[in-house]
Amino acid sequence: MQSKGEDDADRHAWAVERRRGLQAGPDKDGDGKIEAEEKIKESAEWLNALLKGVWPIINPDMFTSTVDMLEDIMQASVPTFIHSVRIPDLGLGNNPLRITSLRALPDSDFDSVTQSLSKEEQEVIQGEHVNYELGFAYRAAPNRNQWSERAENFHLLVEFFVGIKGVAAVPIPVWAEVTGIVGTARMRLELIPDPPFIKHMLITLVGLPKVSIGITPIHKKLLPNMMDIPFISRFVTQSINAAAKEYVAPKSMMLDIQQLLSGDGVSRDTTHIGVVVVQIHQVSVSKNVKQTARDMNAYMNICLSPMNKTQYSTRIISGTLDPVFEETAVLLVDANAAKIGERVTLQLWDNDRFTADDLVGEVEIDVA
């Protein structure tokens, strides 16, 4: 009897502790419920220890699509004296992002996000799931004067091509160091019975993260003061904010965690719905253009609007205004291309050896 009574008392004690853990906070407003804002934000040092080990070995190629988006945003908003922008390198360094807090959330805190999803996405994420709010912060390590030391922080290598479009463009490489990030994200994890027990993760940002950037010109002897002005730093920061805005609630991003963790063991479904085959035979240049047959070095670019990102380039044919290419390009088309009205742009360029290439003409074709 005594053993049974002790066992019963122990079970009641654990039941009380379990309820306390699930509530995880005081009822400040006295309404009998522990709301999300009343819950205690738990320490996440165990998660930071994991991040410290994983961060240096994360493959930066995972962020290629994000870098492409940032590059497109910067290209679309460059001032007139900057010909174009390119981001050839991104490095995470060895100084990891820190998780400042972690807490569970009720489904009601995700209503605005889930309502903005398509019906298919809503069906995916409405199964068994858990919700979390995660606070994160990043601060660059101090006293980084040597380039080898600076590479240990989160950074971007950005090339600004300064000049007049169609006349000249000089590449100016700069080192963009992320000196600080502070933000909050919310995520919903879809649970499944088989390993790794998580299928999809829906993630959204609670407002724009606060981002600070430090800019350093790599070739100080070439342009000692130009890149130290605050304008470049503001331009890069605003471009990062514009990219992050695409994920601020009610907007969100869906990740297939099972595929990321399981790798080749997971069957892959392509997101592309078809292809566009472009056959380039011959181009005839009007005699009204400034180019002559002797000076002409023609080549074709195939781009996708609205950002005019080049998908294919032909060889260069010189000495004629009627170049014959006879080349074929195949472009993949995903479902979003038809939704946003993406178009295929065929551009004819005149290659110049010492100045920027000249655009001779272009034509657009609707993907849909």
Residue range 149-157: average pLDDT?
87
Q: Does 7 score more than 80 pLDDT? A: no
- Which pLDDT score is estimated for 266? 44
Tokens encoding 333: 């088309």
- Write the burial class of residue 202 (CB in 10 Å: 0-12 exposed, 13-18 middle, 19+ buried): buried
Closest CA to 345 of 326, 359, 357, 334: 359
- Strands 98-104 and 129-139 come out as antiparallel
The answer to whether residue 55 scores a pLDDT higher than 90 is: yes
- CB–CB of 175/150 below 8 Å? yes
The rounded distance, in Å, linking the Cα atoms of 344 and 334 is: 13
At residue 147, the pLDDT reads 72
Checking if the pLDDT of 112 tops 80, the result is yes
Residue 19 has pLDDT above 80, yes or no: no
How confident is the prediction for the chain on average, in pLDDT?
81
DSSP 193-235: SSTTSEEEEEEEESSPPEEEEEEEES-TTTSTTGGGSHHHHHH
If you average pLDDT over residues 344-368, what whole number do you get?
82
Helix, strand, or coil here: 11?
A: helix
For residues 117 and 29, what is the distance between their CA atoms, to the nearest angstrom? 33
Q: How far apart are CA 15 and CA 4, in angstroms?
A: 16
* Closest alpha carbon to 160 in 200, 217, 112: 217
Q: Higher pLDDT residue, 322 or 26? A: 322
Residues 131, 107: contact at Cβ < 8 Å? yes
Taking phi first (over 0 means left), then psi (-120 to 50 degrees means alpha), and beta for anything else, what does residue 110 get?
alpha
Average pLDDT over residues 22-31: 65
List phi, psi (to 5°) of 69.
-65, -45
DSSP, res 145? -
pLDDT at 222 over 60: no
Q: Single out the residue of 6, 36, 5 nearest to residue 22, CA to CA.
A: 36
Q: State pTM to two decimals.
A: 0.63
DSSP SS3 for 347: strand
Q: What's the rounded mean pLDDT across residues 237-256?
A: 91
Q: For the chain, how long is the longest CA-to-CA vector? A: 107
At residue 320, φ and ψ (nearest 5 deg) are: -155, 150
With a pLDDT cut of 90, the percent of the chain lying above it is: 20
Strand locations in the chain (E): 82-91, 98-104, 129-139, 155-164, 168-191, 198-205, 210-217, 253-256, 272-282, 297-304, 309-313, 317-318, 324-334, 343-350, 358-366
Rg of the chain taking only CA atoms, in angstroms? 27
For 58-93, the pLDDT digits (tens) are: 988 888 888 888 888 888 887 777 778 889 889 999
Kindly tell me if the per-residue pLDDT of 227 is higher than 50: no
Is residue 352 classed exposed, middle or buried when 0-12, 13-18 and 19+ CB atoms within 10 A define those classes? middle
Indicate the pLDDT class of residue 219, thresholds 50, 70 and 90. low
The pLDDT value given to residue 295: 80
DSSP string, 46-75: HHHHHHHHHGGG--GGGGHHHHHHHHHHHH
- Closest by CA to 135, choosing from 204, 97, 185, 210, is 185
Residue 98 has a pLDDT of: 92
pLDDT value at 41 more than 90: no
pLDDT of residue 183: 96
Q: Treating both helix axes as pointing N-terminal to C-terminal, what angle do 64-76 and 230-244 enclose, rounded to 10 degrees?
A: 120
